[in-house]
Amino acid sequence: MNLGPEEPSFALVMREFERRLRALKMLVLLRTSDQDADTADLLTILDAHLRRVEGDVKAVRTVMADERRAIEAAKELGHRAHMQAARVQAMQARLPAHLPGDARLAAERVAGAALLPPATAVREVRERRALGECNAAAAPHVEGGGTHAGPNGLLDGPLTPLNPPARKGAPIVPTIAYLTTDELASAPAYMRTRLSLDKVNSGVDEMQEIFRRKYELLRARNLGAEQKRQQSAYKQLEMEHPKLKGLLFVSEDDLKSARHVKQDQTGKNILSVLRHVQRLKELSAGGLKCWFMVG
């Protein structure tokens, strides 16, 4: 019993004596109590309860440890999912909404493939030419289109498809390739103000459609009065400005009813970007702006 050094020695002795006296009285009470016989049974029951409680506590601790590990695994999984989502978003931001390609152009390419003779037929002509078995006049007609073989086993003259188009001389309007994210980013900031890749490629679609309609009109027959007037105006503009002759061009007048490339600020920015990435070129004909495809 630690007391301060200032307390008198007699007081220390008395306090210790009183403490031991209280303890002795408690022992006497316990010894003379009527419940002494039941104390062992009660302690046994209490011990059993304590053991069950300890077992429950141990089980709870095990479950908590498992939950803790599961939470850590879930956090790691969530972190990986977040990183994967960020990667997907980055890929989506760089992926153009409009993919290059045009069903009409693909059909033209398939039709153009019919112009080519089978490789076996060409090889047969060359072998017979090398052996001297046939001459240019007697060279067989190649199945699937084409003409007779010429000197050195090469095919002379234009090839004729199996199913020639109903309208001869119809113009094939080249396809304007869609922009990529990097191409749009390469344009100066003042050009691409408030322009998204989707908006620019929508402008590409619209320009492609304007080119197609114009040149279908130029080749069409049996037109109405308004269409004849437009056709005449196109041809007159081409005659007055020789530098436009032979070009696939559209003018400011063609863009008046456009949605994406009309001559407001957004439309002008789209056309500026298309010029910057070499999809279109611009020239002036009699004070009228004209655009034509590159290539």
> What are the structural domains, with CATH classification, of the chain?
169-293 (1.10.10.1890)
Mapped onto helix, strand or coil, the DSSP state of residue 249 is strand
Six token digits for residue 162? 């199996």
* Residue 119 backbone dihedrals phi, psi, to 5 degrees: -60, -35
Six token digits for residue 205? 């679609």
Contact 77/69 with Cβ under 8 angstroms? Answer: no
Contact 262/255 with Cβ under 8 angstroms? Answer: yes
Tens-digit pLDDT profile for the chain (295 aa)?
454 555 566 677 777 777 777 777 776 666 665 555 566 666 677 677 777 777 777 887 888 888 889 999 999 999 899 889 888 888 877 776 655 555 455 455 445 444 444 545 545 555 555 555 444 444 444 444 444 444 433 334 443 333 434 444 445 678 889 999 999 999 999 988 889 999 999 999 999 998 888 777 766 666 666 666 666 666 666 665 667 776 777 888 888 888 899 889 999 999 999 999 999 988 887 777 888 887 6
d(CA 75, CA 60): 22
